Structure 1
Amino acid sequence: MTTRESIIEKADQLIRDKGYNAFSFKDISNDIGIKTASIHYHFPTKSNLGVATIKEHIERVEILKEKVANESPLTKLQAFLEVQAKIKKENKVCIVGSLATDLNTLDDSIKTELQQFAQLVITWLTGILIEGKEQNIFDFDMAPRTKAIMIITNMVAIVQLSRLTTDDDFELVRETILTELRPKK
């Protein structure tokens, strides 16, 4: 892993553990054992680092989309849900949820990148739902984009809420999403 990649990875961890406003370059330098000047070499400002961290998440989604592009809509949906399961298993929170908490204090460049990331996820899931409905794999009454937003918000919320309740609640919500999408007989 390069120094740049290590810095982004540590920033991602700190954003999702403490929040964007609660960490500094000094925290990163202490944790990965480099000078803050090295961080500034790669990321002149904290906003540059924030944008790079979100871009890393965008790249991961694009890679996942490509990996499942030729799979069934159900497999694609399960891949999306598995991302949230991984976040839950790692005892993290979604980067969007974490940064949205600090939204009013973020630089416009971070807000813009975060909006693009959110739109990417919404658009991808909306497409999965449309494809699944057209193939009679999914059945739902609301607009596909609305259903996508409902699924996303349910998953993001249950990742956080199940930290206070039980893992069973996370599984219950995930399974309910899949069950509710099954065509009615």
Structure 2
Amino acid sequence: MKETKEHIIELADELIRKRGFNAFSYSDIAGPLAVRNAAIHYYFPSKSDLGEAVIDQELQRVDEYRRKSERLGGEEQPKLLVGVFRRNNKLRLICLMGSLTPDYDTFEEPMRQKVKEMCTGILDWLGEALERAREEGGLQFEGSAGDRALLVVSTLLSSLLLSRVLGANIFEQMLDQLLRDMRADWQVKDIKL
């Protein structure tokens, strides 16, 4: 059975992805969990502490994805990441990076560092995966893999945001165009959820 602390982190993660970090309060967590705000403050004295815990949980997931994908071919690694974003699109959730980066300047320094760590971790992983996919012949693109990772991540982030406004099909439309540009032999619909 999950501990109260884990439930708090889980619900905060969901609220960040749905509303944004600055758009929820401890009361939004206390009500659904049937606890008092003081219980949340016990585990997380400040909202920044809670935000850092949510990011730490995401960093653990990214590390698990990275370890899991190391045994996969290079092209399978970007597929894994696109699959995560596709699932978020189906659930109408923004990824944590896309939800936190707009509010970056409002965060306390320790939380800023966590956001930066998350962003660089995802970009580094994707850059390595894209370079491996290019070396194996599964993808073709100009420039450095790190620069391409920035373009892929920015497309993933913006596709989730635009899908909220223009419809879920925008996600596949944007990603499929990006994949065609990199001469991939797969599309978003080919990824199993």
- TM-score relative to the length of structure 2: 0.90
1:158 match: 159
1:79 match: 80
Contact 2:75-2:132 within 8 A present in 1 as well: no
2:92 match: 91
1:107 partnered with 2:108:
yes
User: Structure 2: which 5+ runs fail to align?
Assistant: 185-193
- CA distance in 1 between partners of 2:112 and 2:139 (Å): 33
User: How many positions carry a matched residue from both structures?
Assistant: 184
- CA distance in 2 between partners of 1:18 and 1:77 (Å): 27
1:47 partnered with 2:48:
yes
Query: Per the alignment, in what secondary structure is the counterpart of residue 161 of structure 2?
Result: helix
1:57 partnered with 2:26:
no
2:33 match: 32
1:174 match: 175
User: How far 1:162 sits from its partner (Å)?
Assistant: 1.5
2:7 match: 6
2:67 match: 66
2:137 match: 136
- CA distance in 2 between partners of 1:71 and 1:22 (Å): 38
Deviates more, 1:114-123 or 1:171-180: 171-180
User: How far 1:156 sits from its partner (Å)?
Assistant: 0.6
- CA distance in 2 between partners of 1:75 and 1:108 (Å): 35
Query: Per the alignment, in what secondary structure is the counterpart of residue 28 of structure 1?
Result: helix
- CA distance in 2 between partners of 1:22 and 1:181 (Å): 37
User: Percent identity among equivalent residues?
Assistant: 29
Deviates more, 1:48-57 or 1:65-74: 65-74
- TM-score relative to the length of structure 1: 0.93
User: How far 1:63 sits from its partner (Å)?
Assistant: 0.9
User: How far 1:25 sits from its partner (Å)?
Assistant: 1.3
User: How far 1:33 sits from its partner (Å)?
Assistant: 0.8
User: Structure 1: which 5+ runs fail to align?
Assistant: none
User: How far 1:113 sits from its partner (Å)?
Assistant: 0.1
Deviates more, 1:36-45 or 1:106-115: 36-45
Query: Per the alignment, in what secondary structure is the counterpart of residue 75 of structure 2?
Result: helix
- CA distance in 2 between partners of 1:7 and 1:94 (Å): 18
CA RMSD in angstroms, aligned pairs only: 1.5
Counterpart residue identity of residue 57, structure 2: E
